[in-house]
Structures are given as structure tokens and as C-alpha cells.
Amino acid sequence: MDNPIDIREEGGVRYLHFGTDWVQGAMRIRTPFALELAYTREMLTALLLHDGPWPRRILSIGLGAGSLAKFIYRKLPDSHHTIVEIEPRVAAIAQSCFNLPRPDSRMALEIEDGLAFMEHTTDQWDLVLLDAYDHDVKTGPFTSIDFYRTVKSRLSDQGVLSINLFNRARRYESTTSRLGYAFDDRAIHFPSTDEGNYIGLAFNGERVQSDEATLRTRAEVLKEDTGLDLRPVIARLLSAGNARHGKLDL
């Protein structure tokens, strides 16, 4: 990455930029382990789809300001989290300016291209979080069918891929079509409350079946345990999953 990495503060929030006006991450200074941006909260919608202890193994491709990494570290203590970030400057800034903890037995930080990592890893992941954009908010090969198929092969029998589908032109049809094709039509997407973002979810292994009551119960437990309130996303999740009689079957 040759572009500058900029940090600004406004209204008690610290923002990360890659040399443009596009926000690449944010942290409210008074609550550094909270998820400030709505789309980061909604990328964890998969937490509503399985009972705990799940997920045990989490992989993130793309670090940004480290919001998801910090939340997982603080709020999901039974999980092991591996983060892959191509740009060492981003990792250094996340640690020095955005309170990212140092790697330890529960959190690994790999400075590597995400494509190469996915090709050589033999590990299986319960949850893969994909939020990888360059300075111009482009994903490049991270939305190819081949890449999605590689991710699918690395997911466990309860594996879920969660993606931030940000698109400057707000056109998602080709990306979601490739995702659905790679995952044998076991993929959904729904709009985030952050303008311009969509959240995509794709599934491997066991079918995911949940009714609305179960989703709401899990959301209440999650809020009490972690402070993360996913109740507002349930209606969008059910709609995206074409739930019949309030029941998902994915």
C-alpha cells in the first residue's frame, strides 16, 4: 500500500482512512472495545445462528482499525482468532492508535496476503470474517468464485463466511451471484444500516435452521453477555433468508 494512512478525530471518535475520505475503521475513544460502526456489528450476525460455544475458531481477512478483533478478544473468550493483514503499517497503527491487543495464545496476527494465506492454510474455521479493501475501496480478487470456493473448503461443518459487501456504486448483483454459485446457493445478503454496506453470509456443512423466537432468545443472551445488540438485524436476516413462517433454513 503506497497511499498514506490517516487518522482523524471528531466527536469523540477516532477514524482510520487510507488516504481518502472513505472510513476504513472507527473507535469511540471512551469505549475502545465497542463496535462503533453498524456494519461491524452486523458482520457478527452469524452469532445468532448457532448456540455456544460457537465459534471456536475465527479467521479475519483484513484488520482495519481492529474493531472486530478487539470485540472478539474482549467478548468471546472461548474463541481463538487469527487475523490476516497484508499491510504492516495498518497492524502497527491498530496497536498504537486503536488499542488492538498484542498477539497472544488467543489471538494471532499474520502479516500476509489473504489470498496466499487461504491457499496454504490447512486449518478449518467456524467463522471467516472478510472485510478487505484497498485505499480506493476495492476488493480485487476477494470476490472471485475461485476465492469463495477456497474459503468454503476451509470452513468447518458449522462454518459461516461473513462479508462486508461495500460497493461505491451500490451494485451487488454480480458479487452476490458469485457468492451464491460458489456456496451452492447457500448464501444470503441484506442491507446494513451503514450507508453503502451490505452484509453477506454463506454457509458450509450442516444446515442452519432457526425460528424467529430462537433468534430473539439468542440475541437477548448475546446482548446480556457482550453488550452487542443484534435484535435490530433479525427482521432483515429473516427477509434475506426467505424465511417461511418465521423460520430460517439455510
Q: If pLDDT is split at 50, 70 and 90, which confidence band does 242 have?
A: confident
Domain ranges for the chain: 34-249
pLDDT at 2 over 80: no
Q: If pLDDT is split at 50, 70 and 90, which confidence band does 4 have?
A: confident
Least confident stretch, 140-144, 161-165, 197-201, 214-218: 140-144
Query: Can you give the pLDDT at residue 34?
Result: 96
Query: Can you give the pLDDT at residue 165?
Result: 86
* Residues 30/188, Cβ–Cβ less than 8 Å: no
Average pLDDT, the chain: 91
Residues 125, 131, 137, CA angle at the centre, nearest 5°? 155
Q: What ranges in the chain are assigned the alpha helix state H?
A: 38-42, 67-75, 88-97, 114-120, 145-153, 173-182, 212-226, 234-240
Q: If pLDDT is split at 50, 70 and 90, which confidence band does 135 have?
A: very low
Q: If pLDDT is split at 50, 70 and 90, which confidence band does 171 have?
A: low
Query: Can you give the pLDDT at residue 133?
Result: 65
> Dihedral (C-alpha) 74, 16, 115, 240: value to the nearest 10 degrees?
70
Q: If pLDDT is split at 50, 70 and 90, which confidence band does 91 have?
A: very high
Average pLDDT of 167-180? 74
Find how far residue 42's CA is from the centre of its chain. Answer: 8
Question: What does the block give as the cell for 91?
Answer: 497492524
Q: Bridge partners of 244?
A: 247
Count the Cβ atoms, other than its own, within 10 Å of residue 95.
Answer: 16
C-alpha closest to that of 126 among 53, 234, 34, 220: 53
pLDDT 10s digits, 60-88: 999 999 999 999 999 999 999 999 999 99
Average pLDDT of 46-72? 96
Q: Which CATH architecture has domain 34-249?
A: 3-Layer(aba) Sandwich (3.40)
Tell me the pairing of strands 247-249 and 209-211.
antiparallel
Average pLDDT of 139-162? 91
Average pLDDT of 78-104? 96
Find how far residue 187's CA is from the centre of its chain. Answer: 15
Q: Which long-range contacts (CB under 8 A, 24 or more apart) does 3-7 make?
A: 3/135, 5/89, 5/90, 5/93, 7/93, 7/97
Query: Can you give the pLDDT at residue 239?
Result: 94
pLDDT at 169 over 50: no
The set of residues, in sequence order, having a beta carbon less than 8 Å from that of 217 and lying 6+ positions away, is: none
Q: What pTM was computed for the model?
A: 0.94
Cα distances (angstroms) measured from residue 91 to each of 87, 108, 210: 7, 12, 37
Question: What does the block give as the cell for 64?
Answer: 482495519
Average pLDDT of 196-218? 94
* Residues 109/85, Cβ–Cβ less than 8 Å: yes
